[in-house]
Amino acid sequence: MKLYYSPGACSLASHIALIEGGTDFEAVKVDLSTHETEGGKDFYEISPRGYVPLIDTGEYGLITENPAVLMYLADKTQGPPKGHAFYDMLEWIGFIGTEIHGSYGPLFGGADDAQQAEAKKTLAKKYELAEKLMDGSEWLVGDSPSVADNYLFVTTLWADKMGVDLPQSLKDFRARNMERPAVQKAMEAEGLG
């Protein structure tokens, strides 16, 4: 299996899942500003979408888009939760992707100061809603981290970097994730402190 990633991007969630699952994989770094792999290949030739994560599964070929990649990795590594918890995890991945990740667009570049300030306010409200939906739980689904937790964790790293206000419970969530060995290994592999 091959993971195409960019350091600190949402692909970090997949990187964590692969390490935590004990999966044998190759990690290929992609420079998203030039769309070249670390080996100098044009990333658009590998994936017309031009963004990460991208998994070359071998068995199913290429899988893109965070929800599909994360669900594939959940299935291949720790196994997705069963019953209602499975749908809870899907809800979280959808919420994180559309409501939180999507709201970071103006902060990733190209927006003026007013648009960035508005994005930060919007994100603070989304994180307040996430806190409410967590309802005091340490993890998003069940009593241990899932691929959805990996994804939310990555966005909390962005919040810290970009000055987005987080509720204390999500700061604690981020700190709890930072203690996980797979998170530490993935971050080290990506050169993230």
**What pTM, to 2 d.p., does this model score?**
0.96
Q: What pLDDT score was predicted for residue 77?
A: 86
**CA nearest neighbour of 52 among 4, 14, 16, 100:** 4
Q: What are phi and psi of 26, to 5 degrees?
A: -110, 135
Which tens digits make up the pLDDT trace of 92-148? 999 999 999 999 999 998 899 999 999 999 999 999 999 999 999 999 998 999 999
pLDDT for the residue 81: 83
Asked which of 19-33, 71-85, 157-171 is least confident by mean pLDDT, the reply is 71-85
Buried b / exposed e across 38-56, counting CB within 10 Å, b at 16+?
eeeeebeebbeeebbbbbb
Residue 38 CA to residue 189 CA, distance in Å, equals 14
pLDDT digits (tens, 9 = 90+) for 25-80: 999 999 999 999 999 999 999 999 999 999 999 999 999 999 999 999 999 987 78
Which residue ranges form the domains of the chain, and what is each CATH number? 2-78+182-189 (3.40.30.10), 84-180 (1.20.1050.10)
148 within 8 A of 100, measured Cβ to Cβ: no
